[in-house]
């Protein structure tokens, strides 16, 4: 399975999503994560070799690709329109992580409209950084459903466990934190939604 993680704005949990979906899919079949973001965040995360799967830069990924069943691409933020169309063709699924934040959502809608215009259908929105204390994820969800925009049922909560994991170069699955278990459950749940597509 080929999956690309794409977003028009940074700071929406793109790399966190790429890392944890790779972790989940790797429990299914050998998975490769290609870091195509010039920030190299996924490579920084993998720097200490605590991840269960391989992370490669785009330039260095060629030799790894044939040996893996799932290929996940952590795309750069704000790709060119041509890149977007190429990604849509070259992947089974485009995941667009978005926070319920007004400006982030605005940017995501623009991307969705672009996809609609070019008859691209293999994308799905993932709501991230959802603060359980606020209600704006509910508003965002209602809006997306009303507009018939494909959306993962699962939302990713805003939890310190993700930050802790990134500091240690681990995933929240391996980072045993008293409150962090639910963090992994959510990405597990997203992974199941993907497998069931």
Partner DNA sequence: TGAGTTAGAATGGCACCACCCGTC
Partner DNA sequence: GACGGGTGGTGCCATTCTAACTCA
List of residues contacting a second copy (CB under 8 A): 8-12, 15, 38-39, 41, 44-45, 47-48, 77-78, 99, 101-104, 106-107, 131, 134, 136, 142, 145-146, 160, 163, 166-167, 169
Using the rule CB under 7 A, is 157 a contact of DNA? yes
Going edge to edge, which strands form the sheet with 31-36? 54-57, 31-36, 70-75, 2-5, 93-98, 123-127
Which of DNA, a second copy, none does residue 142 bind to, with CB < 5 to 8 Å depending on kind?
A: a second copy
* Greatest CA separation for the chain: 46
Stretch 161-180: interaction string toward DNA, x if CB under 7 A: x--------------xxxx-
Per DSSP, the three-state class of 92 is: coil
Write down the least CB distance from residue 64 to DNA, Å. Answer: 31
Per DSSP, the three-state class of 96 is: strand
Q: Which is nearer to DNA, 87 or 158 (CB)?
A: 158
Write down the least CB distance from residue 159 to DNA, Å. Answer: 4
Q: How far is CA 90 from the centre of its chain?
A: 17
> How many angstroms separate the Cα of 56 from the Cα of each of 30, 61, 63, 73, 76?
14, 5, 10, 10, 14
Find, among 38, 35, 29, the residue nearest to 15 by Cα. Answer: 35
Write down the least CB distance from residue 106 to a second copy, Å. Answer: 6
Write down the least CB distance from residue 117 to DNA, Å. Answer: 33
H-helix or E-strand spanning residue 73: strand 70-75
Write down the least CB distance from residue 110 to a second copy, Å. Answer: 9
Q: Which is nearer to a second copy, 45 or 152 (CB)?
A: 45
Residues forming contacts to DNA in the complex (CB under 7 A) are 131-136, 157-161, 176-179, 182
């Amino acid at each position: 399975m080929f999956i690309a993680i794409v977003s028009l704005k940074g700071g929406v949990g793109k790399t966190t999503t790429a890392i944890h979906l790779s972790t989940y899919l790797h429990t299914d079949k050998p998975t490769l994560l290609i870091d195509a973001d010039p920030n190299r965040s996924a490579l920084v995360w993998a720097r200490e070799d605590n991840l269960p799967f391989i992370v490669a830069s785009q330039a260095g990924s060629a030799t790894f690709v044939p040996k893996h069943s799932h290929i996940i691409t952590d795309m750069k933020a704000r790709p060119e329109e041509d890149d977007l169309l190429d990604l849509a063709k070259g992947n089974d699924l485009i995941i667009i992580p978005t926070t319920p934040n007004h400006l982030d959502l605005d940017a995501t809608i623009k991307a969705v409209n672009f996809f609609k215009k070019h008859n691209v259908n293999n994308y799905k929105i993932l709501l991230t950084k959802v603060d359980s204390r606020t209600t704006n994820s509910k508003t965002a969800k209602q809006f997306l459903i009303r507009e018939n925009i494909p959306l993962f049922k699962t939302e990713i909560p805003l939890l310190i466990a993700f930050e802790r994991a990134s500091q240690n170069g681990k995933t929240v699955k391996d980072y045993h934190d008293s409150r962090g278990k639910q963090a992994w459950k959510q990405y597990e749940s997203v992974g199941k939604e993907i497998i069931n597509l």
